[in-house]
């Protein structure tokens, strides 16, 4: 006989139980699971549910609110995070049940809200059964910076450029100039884009994930990034770029000085096609990731008004800094 499954809201005292769940599900994923769990439960507010069997948490469905806008209008918005199920508990419908409970609570009194996230393939299949829509809007792109050095380390084994990277886990960021946040926000609003509004409070909140985010600051702007290592190569993952002026010349100077400072072999980004910087990256030599051009960008909305806005890929201006796994 199958054991009873208890679906319930997550409590602050569940930090240890969730940590052990994530350790079992993602033993080789290099991120600070305890810091991330504390961030979601203690630094954020969202809709968080879990499933228990014999007093052990076997599945989780967590989220947090984003300071999210379309143009000048703030939206009620959460992003899902840290959702998983133990291997021996899969195939029982637990994950789908947790998703339906969260959706029911979120849309209970407000049909104009939005939930979105970047999903694993397995999660996407469950989401689509629960009315989620997936759009091809969020691209992964690469820039080869030191091709000769790459060949000297891995030869022509291109596959060695992909897979798990050992990302440095130490935070190393400085306060960003508020004027950069304002310049970015103004262009997002003028173009009526779906975006995270990084005001001073939101950028401080985002750094509390303690996930190894670093900043590079110059007179041309600020880059939030991560640095990692694999096969004797240096990898950079850019979260977001904040410019003093949104033109290609300024962007080019900032990227050039950044590369000169850190000597990366490969730079990775993820960005939506509506983002103001998307054409700048393409012009600067970034190309679509041949292994994975699109990430699974899932959206759950209820009203026809929100569907019209959110199902159009070019309305989205998001980057890796907006994603919970960065």
pLDDT in tens, 266-308: 999 999 999 999 999 999 999 999 888 999 999 999 999 999 9
Residue 163: Cβ within 10 Å count: 9
Displacement of CA 19 from its chain's centroid (Å): 20
The per-residue pLDDT for 82 is 87
What mean pLDDT, rounded, does the chain reach? 93
Q: What is the pLDDT of residues 109-147, one digit of tens each?
A: 888 999 999 988 888 988 899 999 999 999 999 999 999
Q: Quick one: average pLDDT of 209-228?
A: 96
The one-character DSSP state at 313 is: G
Does the pLDDT value for residue 192 go beyond 50?
yes
CA 242 → CA 90, 183, 195, distances in Å? 42, 8, 14
Q: In order of start, what are the domains of the chain with their CATH numbers? A: 6-135 (3.40.630.30), 138-295+314-322 (3.40.630)
Q: What is the pTM of this model?
A: 0.94
Does the pLDDT value for residue 1 go beyond 60?
no
Dist CA 199 CA 290 (whole Å) = 35
Does the pLDDT value for residue 51 go beyond 80?
yes
Q: What is the pLDDT of residues 58-98, one digit of tens each?
A: 999 999 999 999 999 999 999 998 888 998 888 888 999 99
Dist CA 72 CA 64 (whole Å) = 21
CA end-to-end span of the chain: 41
Does the pLDDT value for residue 37 go beyond 80?
yes
Single out the residue of 275, 271, 278, 276 nearest to residue 319, CA to CA.
271
**Proportion of the chain above pLDDT 90, given as a percent:** 74
Q: Quick one: average pLDDT of 159-164?
A: 86
């Amino acid at each position: 006989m199958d054991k009873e499954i208890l679906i319930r809201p997550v409590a602050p005292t569940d930090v240890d139980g969730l940590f052990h769940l994530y350790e079992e599900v993602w033993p080789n994923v290099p991120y600070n699971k305890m810091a991330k769990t504390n961030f979601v439960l203690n630094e954020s507010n969202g809709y968080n549910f879990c499933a228990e069997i014999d007093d052990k948490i076997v599945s989780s469905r967590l989220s947090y609110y984003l300071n999210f806008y379309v143009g000048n209008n703030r939206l009620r918005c959460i992003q899902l995070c840290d959702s998983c199920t133990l291997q021996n508990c899969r195939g029982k419908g637990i994950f789908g049940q947790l998703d339906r409970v969260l959706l029911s609570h979120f849309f209970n009194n407000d049909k104009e809200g939005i939930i979105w996230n970047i999903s694993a393939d397995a999660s996407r299949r469950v989401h689509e059964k629960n009315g989620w829509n997936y759009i091809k809007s969020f691209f992964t792109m690469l820039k080869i910076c030191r091709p000769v050095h790459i060949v000297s380390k891995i030869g022509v084994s291109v596959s060695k450029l992909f897979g798990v990277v050992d990302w440095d886990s130490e935070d190393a960021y400085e306060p960003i100039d508020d004027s950069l946040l304002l310049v970015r926000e103004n262009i997002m609003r003028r173009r009526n884009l779906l975006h995270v509004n990084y005001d001073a409070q939101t950028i401080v909140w985002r750094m509390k994930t303690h996930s190894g985010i670093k900043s590079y600051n110059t007179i041309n702007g600020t880059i939030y990034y991560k640095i990692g290592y694999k096969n004797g190569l240096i990898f950079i993952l850019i979260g977001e770029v904040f410019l003093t002026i949104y033109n290609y010349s300024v962007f080019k100077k900032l990227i050039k000085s950044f590369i000169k400072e850190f000597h990366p072999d490969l730079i990775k980004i993820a960005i939506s096609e509506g983002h103001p910087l998307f054409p700048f990256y393409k012009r600067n030599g970034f190309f679509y990731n041949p292994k994975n051009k699109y990430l699974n960008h899932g959206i759950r909305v209820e009203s026809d008004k929100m569907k019209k806005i959110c199902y159009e890929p070019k309305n989205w201006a998001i980057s890796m800094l907006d994603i919970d796994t960065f």
